Amino acid sequence: MGRLGETDLADRLSPSGRHTLLVQVVFALLVTGLTVALRAVIDSISPAAGPFSLGFAAILVATLFGRWQAGVITGVLTLVYSWYFVLPAQNSFLLKNAEDTGRLILAAINYAAVLVIAELFRRAVRRATAERDREIAERDLFLEEFDHRVKNNFTLVAALLDMQRRRAKDAETAEALSSALTRVESIARAHRHLYRGAAVSRGEADMATYLEELCAALAEALFLRGAITLDCVCDHAAIPRDRAVSIGLIVNELVTNAAKHAFAGRETGRIEVRFEAAAPGWKLVVRDDGVGMPDIPKARGKDGGLGQKLIDGFVRQARGTAKTESGLDGTAVTVVLEA
């Protein structure tokens, strides 16, 4: 019901306010015309039944959509019409029955009451709408400021990690810092894509757009050009953004691991990321045609062990299960996600 009071034809059809009265008069005439037409249909079935009943609805509609001026015009016109054409004697302002005078006065009073109530309701809704719009504007401003601060924080953390990586003299330390830098940059990309713009209002992300942008950024960051390629094939699917972040981080870890370890001693290769609908939900596959995984697991505490723990954690956050298949023709990790 509140939506009715938000529609103001005078504002919509005359934003400048120069033709507000004209809009109200035309709208009042339109409402009155429809009321007269409906009155004619009723008179063909039951002549003179409820002579003033349609006026209440007409005044209500005219006031809600055209303000009190349109309601006054509609009320006067419908009252005069009912007096002249419906009350006996018809086609005359003379009242045949003495009680019709009281009915006419009572109808006028009730018309005025309906008009006042409708106008008060319309104004209350307009005030509530204005307050809501103000709060939304303040929220958007806060989110914009928050987004800017988060973006700056990500940039600062990435810069510090990169600085430490460049100063590290130990190769293992430098590699660990490089991996941490890549993960921070992946989370920053997720934030930029999923927590800004239209995605905020919906609370969901289109996985095709998100993963394609993520793969393009990974290809650039990992220098996957020419001989080693990264292909991304994704179905469009609306996924809650928190789950989408976890899925993106899974892709980041798997692609990074493949780029670093799958093509040892080779100059050519292909990594494929595929996201598609599959009962009961979706399926994510990251596949490479590299040398396969070694039979001996990596020792705990190494980067590989940390990477696997991160992948397992991200899979749980995404509400999925992971399966790894590896051989001489490469490695494929399949993550089945619940609906």
Cα–Cα nearest to 183, from 255, 261, 241: 255
C-alpha–C-alpha distance, residues 97 and 83, integer Å: 12
Q: Is the pLDDT of residue 303 over 70?
A: no
Q: Is the pLDDT of residue 79 over 90?
A: yes
Cα 124 vs. chain centroid, distance in angstroms? Answer: 27
Q: Is the pLDDT of residue 110 over 90?
A: yes
C-alpha–C-alpha distance, residues 163 and 160, integer Å: 5
Distances (CA, A) of 279 to 165, 298, 306, 315, 338: 43, 34, 31, 17, 8
Cα–Cα nearest to 337, from 218, 234, 244, 215: 244
Give the residue with greater pLDDT, 200 vs 76.
76
Q: Report, in this order, helix, strand and coil percent for the chain, each rounded to 5.
A: 65, 15, 20
Amino acid of residue 311: I
C-alpha–C-alpha distance, residues 221 and 182, integer Å: 8
Q: Is the pLDDT of residue 3 over 60?
A: no
CATH architecture of the domain 203-337 equals 2-Layer Sandwich (3.30)
Q: Is the pLDDT of residue 299 over 80?
A: no
Per-residue pLDDT, 271: 94
Cβ 48 vs Cβ 91: under 8 Å:
no
Average pLDDT over every residue of 182-196: 73
Q: What percent of the chain has pLDDT over 90?
A: 37
Q: What are phi and psi of 41, to 5 degrees?
A: -65, -45
Q: Is the pLDDT of residue 14 over 90?
A: no
Q: Is the pLDDT of residue 302 over 50?
A: no
Q: Is the pLDDT of residue 209 over 80?
A: yes
Average pLDDT over every residue of 55-76: 93
- Residue-wise pLDDT for 131-156, tens only, equals 998 998 898 888 788 888 888 898 89
* pLDDT level of residue 5 (50, 70, 90 thresholds): low
Cβ 105 vs Cβ 86: under 8 Å:
no
Taken in order 25, 29, 30, 35, the sign of the CA dihedral is positive
Per-residue pLDDT, 189: 73
Q: What are phi and psi of 236, to 5 degrees?
A: -75, 130
Amino acid of residue 17: G
Cα–Cα nearest to 74, from 117, 107, 30, 42: 30
DSSP-derived 3-state class of residue 292 = coil
Lowest mean pLDDT among 98-102, 185-189, 217-221: 185-189
75: Cβ contacts below 8 Å, ≥ 6 apart:
55, 58, 59, 62, 111, 112, 115
Average pLDDT over every residue of 219-242: 83
Cβ 102 vs Cβ 43: under 8 Å:
no
Only one residue has tokens 């493949």, namely: 258
Q: Is the pLDDT of residue 301 over 90?
A: no
Q: Is the pLDDT of residue 193 over 90?
A: no
39: Cβ contacts below 8 Å, ≥ 6 apart:
54, 81, 82, 85, 86
Q: Where are the domains of the chain?
A: 2-135, 203-337
* pLDDT level of residue 2 (50, 70, 90 thresholds): very low
* pLDDT level of residue 46 (50, 70, 90 thresholds): confident
Only one residue has tokens 């039951």, namely: 46
Average pLDDT over every residue of 2-20: 75
Specify the DSSP class assigned to residue 69: H
